[in-house]
């Protein structure tokens, strides 16, 4: 096992496009770090730089106390699990898992021991003689993980390994990956665009945007205290409601030009207005019943001037507010309601959305 430390790492392609813009990160021995962000934010590029599949323009990558910038991927003592499994179709499960060890000229007895141990951990023992085409998507992904496990690397790297699976299987495999990592205690770095996957897997969550780290830390801390409006809208489903402070139901704050945020679950439908909180008059436009919860979509009845917050990927359209309520009871479409939240459930950001302001 090993620490992974990045120091001001940058990646600039020919033509001047800077994909990674000075990222520093320290992943402790045995920790599970998740890189999350929208498509094109640089998370897979950063992972491939750690793996040695992409060169580093500047900065340092340290794995286990060794600078690896100029070291070939095969010599970095890492194992990577890919999105598309990358299995050899003509080989059995056993031979897929053994292939890398044979290339290293490991004795067959040791190979057999490692493959069978990994197969036991991953419940692949009955499938060792099958070919990949005879396996389900989840089984193929377990074979890909088994191939990484037998290497006994210092670091596991996962590049969106569950994105090809259906929703139910993704949940099951997500749990299996976390249990496996805790059992092996191997330092792991995992890339995903799925914020729920990121929240449930990570010891350290790294939210990326435009080639930079927008925020990093404990997942729950990031959820409860997002540093920017981007993080606030990206982490959490449904996303946080964001609105110009002047449209925030009479709520007063030191920065009159700021942006106010409130999570859907922190809003209540009530006729009362909290004395020091938020009250929004809404017209119900849509209802989503998802079982134990219901999402109420409302439009602010008096939004004031043209909103200064424009809709971006993951954010709500200007003027729209989501209220998450328990059960299946809900107001009617077209009904006027009041949604309220106490002051301690509100989030305030600067007018440009780049910093958090304490209330």
Asked if residues 232 and 226 have their Cβ atoms less than 8 Å apart, the reply is: yes
pLDDT recorded at residue 312 = 52
- The CA-atom distances, in angstroms, between 11 and each of 19, 55, 59, 60, 282 are 6, 8, 9, 11, 46
Which CATH homologous superfamily contains domain 4-224? P-loop containing nucleotide triphosphate hydrolases (3.40.50.300)
Candidates 31, 40, 36, 64; CA nearest to 50 is 64
pLDDT recorded at residue 316 = 59
- The CA-atom distances, in angstroms, between 103 and each of 17, 80, 106, 108, 151 are 37, 16, 8, 11, 11
What lies within 8 Å, CB to CB, of 273 at 6+ separation is: 249, 279, 338, 340
Asked if residues 255 and 347 have their Cβ atoms less than 8 Å apart, the reply is: no
Same fold, 4-224 and 239-357: no
Backbone angles phi, psi at 11, to 5 degrees: -135, 115
Total length of the chain = 359
* E strands, 140-203, in order: 155-159, 187-192
What 8-state DSSP symbol labels residue 314?
T
pLDDT recorded at residue 135 = 93
pLDDT recorded at residue 254 = 64
- CATH code of the region 239-357: 2.40.50.140
pTM of the model: 0.88
pLDDT, one tens digit for every residue, the chain (359 residues): 689 999 999 999 998 999 999 999 999 999 999 999 999 999 999 999 999 999 999 999 999 999 999 999 989 999 999 888 889 999 999 999 999 999 989 999 999 999 999 999 888 999 999 999 999 988 998 899 999 999 999 999 999 988 888 888 888 889 889 988 998 999 999 999 999 999 999 999 999 999 999 999 999 999 999 999 999 999 998 899 998 887 666 566 665 678 999 999 999 998 877 777 888 899 999 999 988 899 999 998 654 434 444 445 445 566 899 999 988 788 999 999 999 999 999 999 998 999 999 87
Sketch the domain layout of the chain as residue ranges. Answer: 4-224, 239-357
pLDDT recorded at residue 315 = 52
In DSSP terms, 298 is beta-bridged to 284, 321
pLDDT recorded at residue 252 = 66
What lies within 8 Å, CB to CB, of 167 at 6+ separation is: none
């Amino acid at each position: 096992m090993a620490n992974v430390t990045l120091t001001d790492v940058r990646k600039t392609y020919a033509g001047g496009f800077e994909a990674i813009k000075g990222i520093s990160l320290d992943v402790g021995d045995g920790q599970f770090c998740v890189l999350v962000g929208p498509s094109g934010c640089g998370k897979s590029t950063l992972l491939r730089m750690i793996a040695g599949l992409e060169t580093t323009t500047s900065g340092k990558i340290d794995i286990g106390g060794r600078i690896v910038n100029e070291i070939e991927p095969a010599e970095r003592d890492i194992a990577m699990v890919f999105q598309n499994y990358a299995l050899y179709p003509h080989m059995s499960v056993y031979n897929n898992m053994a292939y890398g060890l044979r290339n290293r000229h490991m004795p067959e007895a040791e190979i057999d021991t490692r493959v069978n141990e990994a197969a036991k951990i991953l419940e692949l023992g009955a499938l060792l003689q099958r070919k990949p085409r005879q396996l389900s998507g989840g089984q193929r992904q377990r074979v890909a993980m088994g191939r990484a496990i037998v290497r006994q690397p210092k670091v596991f790297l996962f590049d969106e390994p569950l994105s090809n699976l259906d929703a139910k299987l993704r949940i099951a495999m997500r749990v299996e990956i976390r249990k496996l990592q805790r059992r092996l205690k191997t330092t792991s770095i995992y890339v995903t665009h799925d914020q729920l996957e990121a929240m449930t897997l990570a010891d350290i969550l790294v939210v990326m945007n435009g080639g930079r780290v927008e925020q990093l830390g404990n997942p729950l801390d990031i959820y409860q205290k997002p540093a920017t409006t981007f993080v606030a809208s990206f982490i959490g489903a449904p996303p946080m409601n964001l609105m110009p402070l002047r449209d925030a139901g009479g709520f007063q704050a030191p920065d009159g030009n700021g942006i106010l945020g409130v999570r859907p679950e922190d809003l209540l439908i009530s006729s009362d207005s909290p004395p020091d909180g938020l009250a929004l008059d809404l017209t119900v436009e849509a209802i989503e019943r998802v079982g134990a919860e219901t999402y109420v979509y409302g439009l602010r009845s008096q939004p004031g001037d043209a909103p200064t917050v424009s809709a971006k990927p993951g954010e709500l359209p200007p003027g729209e507010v989501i209220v998450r309520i328990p059960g299946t009871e809900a107001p009617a479409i077209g009904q006027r309601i009041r949604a309220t939240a106490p002051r301690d459930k509100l989030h305030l950001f600067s007018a440009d959305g780049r910093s958090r302001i304490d209330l």
